[in-house]
Structure 1
Amino acid sequence: MNKFLFYVFFFASYFSVFSQVSSKYTISFENAVHHEANIEAVFTNLRTDEVEFRMSRTSPGRYALHEFMKNVYAVNVTDSKGNALKTNRPDPYSWSVKGHDGTIKVSYILFANRGGGTYAQIDETHAHLNIPATFIYMPSKAKDGIEVTFNVREDLNWKVATQLKPVSGNTYYAYDLQYFMDSPTEISNFSNRAFNVDGQTINFVLHHNGTEAELDTYFEKVKKIVLQEKAVFGELPKFDYDNYTFLACYIPNASGDGMEHRNSTILTSTRSLAEGGMERNIGTVSHEFFHAWNVERIRPKSLEPFKFDEANMSGELWFAEGFTSYFTSLILCRAGIISREQYIEGITGSFNYVWNSPGRQFFNPIEMSYQAPFVDAARSVDPVNRSNTFISYYSYGNMLGLALDLSLREKGLNLDDYMKLVWITYGEQEKPYTIENLNNILNDYAGVDFGNTFFTNYIYKSDMPAMERLLNNVGVSLTQEKNMVDFGASVKNGLITQNTTMGGSAYNAGLENGDKIIKFNDVTINESTDFNYLINTFKPNDEIKVVYKRFGEVKETIVKLLASKNYTLALFETNSLNLSDKQKAQREDWLQAK
């Protein structure tokens, strides 16, 4: 086995296949203890007198603005001989420069202290680099090659893991700006494992404080996921340089996240493998690797090319993220990492969230996807009403994936083969798709009536299919506890802590976020009151006198308690229901390993 599998990527062909390099970076970490990196960028082959360089505002896989410029300072700009150049600042993210000699050198300091999929983190445990959050770039050189040299901390036994192509030592290459920005890099004293699938190498890099034995156990789960996801599409993608690399950081100073990239993924968690991560981190592995097909190569036209200077909006995220979320847990079940009971139990929360959300009256799945620039790790300070108006495209698409899969299976078809057809038609050829394209492929696969009905009712509109029948086909029951009540608000120590649910008991009574409930009929509410227990002592249609305080004023209202809309999903066997041979066969085809 090679010492480091990332280091052997066709060195002999270097000069024949590399495009002209016009951007070179060097990054050093002498002041890592204070989360700083020193960076120098050299831009050459400049053919116009005035040029611009800038910091990205977005990051591949994210859709909101993140304004990475806020962590850049001590910027110094010279020509090739070290002569200072005057710069102008046309906006907060860029510099314009004149009077250069065909080369511009820029040095700056980067502050970085968030170890997730979007930002960068530098300390004495690692340099965890998301490229857009780290390096300035020159838009006019976006098509040229890029080289970057990582001056690692040898005193900390650091080494480099990245999908970038090695050149020599710790210098790496990207063939253009899009690839460079899409290439996260982990620099630390990590461990690694690898296995070969059809002539390609799957690397698992892990920076953690655990044992090699724990990594061995975890890696066996990773391998099962890779093979089950390959079975969905029939083949692995053709990875650049025949390598794919999981970049995992399970350390206390990380931030929980997962982010897909073309030939790699970031996996971060504060949970160590020994303290719950063995079970709770593995879902992100399943989700992000599925993206190697769905979103990286089965690519929405709306995200191609990815824009670094503005928010990226796509109406296809219910498919790109949502269908990936559907397969995330399904693959864990097929791989035997979770039981079938755990899988069905896990569906229940998403099912209730999507089916019972008032948000479906405002937006269909496409329009929910359009909200990504406002919800995808975006920050704002003004209150919003998203609990009533928004359904995550992850969850919405997850449940649409379930609905489509079970609807197809009722016809003797399945979602695996539909995804495979999308892969062959668009992903394998790396031809970006539209929603209309997805509709047409479903028409080709399952018939025009079926395909158009599904897209018309559930994608272009917000209807939901008859899930009780579809679940029954695979021996899963769908029931509601209609004798239970739902207050329609989150209450802690008497305080309503979130916007009340539109159309719910509390909402209809005029109660709202921030109200302090004092009495519930004759019961005084205090810190020791178990409000959920209290609510469940009543029945649907009971009317309750509620005394509450709002803005310092005591008020009264009557709350008519509505029946709970919550569903429970369970395997037939859990409810002592008989499973027919047909239902058993359908379920096996759905959940068994491929």
Structure 2
Amino acid sequence: MRLLIAFLLVSVTCFGQTNTYNVSFKNAIHHEANIKATFPELNSEVLTLRMSRTSPGRYALHEFIKNVYGVKATNSKGEELEVTRPDAYSWEISGHDGTVNIEYTLFANRADGTYTQVDLTHAHLNIPATFIYAEELKQRLIEVTFNTEGHPDWKIATQLKHLNGNKYFAPNLYYFMDSPTEISDFDLREYTVDGQNIRFVLHHPGTEQEFDKYWEQVKKIVAQEKAVYGELPDYDFGEYTFLACYMPNVSGDGMEHRNSTVLTDVESLAEGGMKGNIGTVSHEYFHSWNVERIRPKSLEPFNFSEANMSGALWFAEGFTSYYTGLILCRAGITTPEEYVNSLNGPFNYVWNSPARQYFNPIEMSFQAPFVDAATSVDPVNRQNTFISYYSYGSILGLALDLKLREKGLNLDDFMKLVWETYGEPENPYTIDDLELSLSKYAGKEFASDFFSNYIYHSNMPDYKKLFASVGLDISQNESEAYIGASVSDTEKGLVISRGPQKGTPAYIAGLEEGDRINTINSTQISNKEEWDQKMANFEPGDTFKISVTSYGMERTAEVKLQPDPTYNINIDENASASAKAAREKWLSAK
């Protein structure tokens, strides 16, 4: 890759077939960017230009064209050209002389891993949300100038190759689209690991001392994630950049890219971000191996005009999520007790969900275009039909790691094998390839059993046995009564605030989101405090009458309470010496 890019850099000056962009921010106070582009040496009579509908790392449609206006086109002499709209996503320019110049205004006021924000504090640019492009010219070189006139304190940070001044380079359209850029008065830390530069760019309102403390944690994460794979990826241009923006005007997010990642959150380091944001650092950096280079074949090539679907997200996102917390523990950023406690939320979410009867992990991954920052106005039944592939894959990654450790193996070495087979040579994988790799690592019978039971079907591993092997305990409090309904105080009274899950007492009784609760066993219930007091007096197996108002009508239902299905995972202080040693090996720094 580096030799190819070196050749392309020479080509910029030798061949001239380069698309150029210039973006400026004179009206930043009103969230506008002015963008100019030139497409020279055209062969087609009609040039079709588009705005992307998707963004690398996201799987849903986003329709970035909605924020573009004031589009004008001219030829090489500055003469105006006709612009027509063949559909909702593109423009057609005809009558050119081999060159088309475009100018337009972009409204941008959301900073996260997908969108663009321009204001007086920064220009946070996700390229698909910012720049017009021509699909037919996708293999051309690209030069972009970030014009910071009027903002003398702003600096530029991006994985794009720096040419000179404010000018940067991409070898093709995909690399350009994959290169988010933060332009602001940011702080910078960097160091060298195995001859490659690791940079952390931070736009924040905090102090140098806070950044120094955070940076030390980041370096520990880099070291522990490198230890899993045995080496860093070969970053293009020899550099990896964290683009962090912890400001009150952004939206919380994280998004991986080939040689960089976007990290955004409203919490500053002094206001909870020191602990609250570091998990995103761990997750997104792990993606520089898993997803960016260990890449599902189903995401190649990435489509900028349609939603992108993959059945491998339980591995790509889910196994990365498993390592997110584990790496923090190995790096000493969290304690073993904190890590084990953090397993409870996703574990209960996955295994107490009725959605497993509808979709296995592969099919849950197929839902990404409809849930990954996607929007819809019609109600959906996600509480009964969907488990996030992040959480599902994370809990399956945990199971696989513990199963392998029972055999004297571990998930780290399996991930390293997948890296050496598919990631390092950048050969996209299929789900069959993952099973084949596990077969080579742990045996055909082991791999077949795991994939058949937990990937192609939705069975639950024997976690009690697996946890005991590393000195953990899992239990359920069957003496606690459970109704399975969330309630909230509102101006209209106490209401069921979320649709009950299938199989819960509330669901069986016919209770539904929006029902206003009136009485329990003829006793009026006016607020959540009274509800909690009443529930505390019941035991599993008890029944009661509940009166609710729904659709303007009052009705009564009978509820039979069940034992609380919540799992509790804890460190077992009475575990055997061998189990404690296995836990230590699992959670300790490599």
Correspondence 1:40 to 2:26: no
Correspondence 1:475 to 2:471: yes
Secondary structure of the residue aligned to 2:529 is coil
Q: CA–CA distance in 2 between the matches of 1:118 and 1:233?
A: 28
Could you give the per-residue CA deviations for residues 244-273 of structure 1, whole angstroms, max 9, x where no partner exists? 000000000010000000000000000000
Correspondence 1:543 to 2:543: yes
Partner of 1:190: 186
Partner of 2:321: 325
The residue correspondences of 1:395-406 to structure 2 (distance < 5 A) are 395-406=391-402
Q: CA deviation at 1:523?
A: 2.8
Q: CA deviation at 1:488?
A: 1.2
Q: How many residues align?
A: 582
Query: Is there any run of 5+ residues in structure 1 with no aligned partner, and where?
Result: 1-8
Partner of 1:5: none
Secondary structure of the residue aligned to 2:216 is helix
Partner of 1:565: 565
- Confirm or deny: 8 A CA contact 2:8 2:141 kept in the other structure: no
The residue correspondences of 1:504-583 to structure 2 (distance < 5 A) are 504-527=504-527, 529-573=529-573, 578-583=574-579
Q: CA deviation at 1:500?
A: 1.1
- Confirm or deny: 8 A CA contact 2:59 2:309 kept in the other structure: yes
Correspondence 1:442 to 2:438: yes
The residue correspondences of 1:458-473 to structure 2 (distance < 5 A) are 458-473=454-469
Residues 88-97 or 321-330, more deviating? 88-97
- Confirm or deny: 8 A CA contact 1:21 1:147 kept in the other structure: no
Q: CA–CA distance in 2 between the matches of 1:64 and 1:73?
A: 23
Secondary structure of the residue aligned to 1:495 is strand
Q: CA deviation at 1:87?
A: 2.0
Q: CA RMSD in A?
A: 1.5
Q: CA–CA distance in 2 between the matches of 1:533 and 1:324?
A: 41
Give the 3 Å change call, closer, same or farther, for CA 100–115 of structure 1 in structure 2: same
Give the 3 Å change call, closer, same or farther, for CA 227–430 of structure 1 in structure 2: same
Residues 14-23 or 233-242, more deviating? 14-23
Correspondence 1:308 to 2:300: no
Partner of 2:334: 338
Q: CA deviation at 1:223?
A: 0.1
Match of 1:490 among 483, 486, 490: 486
Q: CA–CA distance in 1 between the matches of 2:196 and 2:534?
A: 59
Residues 252-261 or 511-520, more deviating? 511-520
Matched residue type, 2:387: I
Partner of 1:3: none
Secondary structure of the residue aligned to 2:343 is helix
Q: CA–CA distance in 2 between the matches of 1:523 and 1:396?
A: 41
Secondary structure of the residue aligned to 1:529 is helix
Query: Is there any run of 5+ residues in structure 2 with no aligned partner, and where?
Result: none
- Confirm or deny: 8 A CA contact 1:283 1:328 kept in the other structure: yes
Q: CA–CA distance in 2 between the matches of 1:21 and 1:398?
A: 45
Matched residue type, 1:568: N
- Confirm or deny: 8 A CA contact 2:497 2:513 kept in the other structure: yes
Correspondence 1:299 to 2:295: yes
Partner of 2:422: 426
- Confirm or deny: 8 A CA contact 1:29 1:37 kept in the other structure: yes
Q: CA deviation at 1:531?
A: 2.6
Matched residue type, 2:520: F
- Confirm or deny: 8 A CA contact 1:237 1:292 kept in the other structure: yes
The residue correspondences of 1:69-84 to structure 2 (distance < 5 A) are 69-84=65-80
Could you give the per-residue CA deviations for residues 471-496 of structure 1, whole angstroms, max 9, x where no partner exists? 01000000000011221111113201
Could you give the per-residue CA deviations for residues 281-311 of structure 1, whole angstroms, max 9, x where no partner exists? 0000000000000000000001011100010
Could you give the per-residue CA deviations for residues 55-86 of structure 1, whole angstroms, max 9, x where no partner exists? 00000000000000000000001111111111
Matched residue type, 2:297: K
Partner of 2:64: 68
Q: CA–CA distance in 2 between the matches of 1:450 and 1:528?
A: 49
Q: CA–CA distance in 1 between the matches of 2:211 and 2:67?
A: 34
Q: CA deviation at 1:534?
A: 2.6
State TM-score, norm by structure 1.
0.96
Secondary structure of the residue aligned to 2:475 is strand
The residue correspondences of 1:18-167 to structure 2 (distance < 5 A) are 21-153=17-149, 155-167=151-163
Q: CA deviation at 1:530?
A: 4.2
Partner of 1:4: none
Give the 3 Å change call, closer, same or farther, for CA 156–497 of structure 1 in structure 2: farther
Give the 3 Å change call, closer, same or farther, for CA 99–84 of structure 1 in structure 2: same
Q: CA–CA distance in 1 between the matches of 2:536 and 2:172?
A: 60
Q: CA–CA distance in 2 between the matches of 1:427 and 1:533?
A: 55
Q: CA deviation at 1:522?
A: 3.6
Q: CA–CA distance in 2 between the matches of 1:90 and 1:460?
A: 43
Residues 270-279 or 146-155, more deviating? 146-155
Q: CA deviation at 1:529?
A: 2.9
Q: CA–CA distance in 1 between the matches of 2:149 and 2:289?
A: 35
Match of 2:169 among 149, 168, 173: 173
- Quote the sequence identity (%): 60
Residues 162-171 or 86-95, more deviating? 86-95
Residues 30-39 or 44-53, more deviating? 44-53
Matched residue type, 1:474: V
Secondary structure of the residue aligned to 1:195 is strand
Residues 533-542 or 415-424, more deviating? 533-542
Residues 85-94 or 353-362, more deviating? 85-94
Partner of 2:343: 347
Correspondence 1:247 to 2:243: yes
Q: CA–CA distance in 2 between the matches of 1:20 and 1:488?
A: 65
- Confirm or deny: 8 A CA contact 2:60 2:371 kept in the other structure: yes
Q: CA–CA distance in 1 between the matches of 2:130 and 2:336?
A: 43
Matched residue type, 2:305: D
Q: CA deviation at 1:21?
A: 4.1
Q: CA–CA distance in 2 between the matches of 1:412 and 1:589?
A: 11
Q: CA–CA distance in 1 between the matches of 2:528 and 2:467?
A: 41
Q: CA–CA distance in 2 between the matches of 1:419 and 1:463?
A: 23
Q: CA–CA distance in 1 between the matches of 2:182 and 2:154?
A: 9
Q: CA–CA distance in 1 between the matches of 2:529 and 2:415?
A: 50
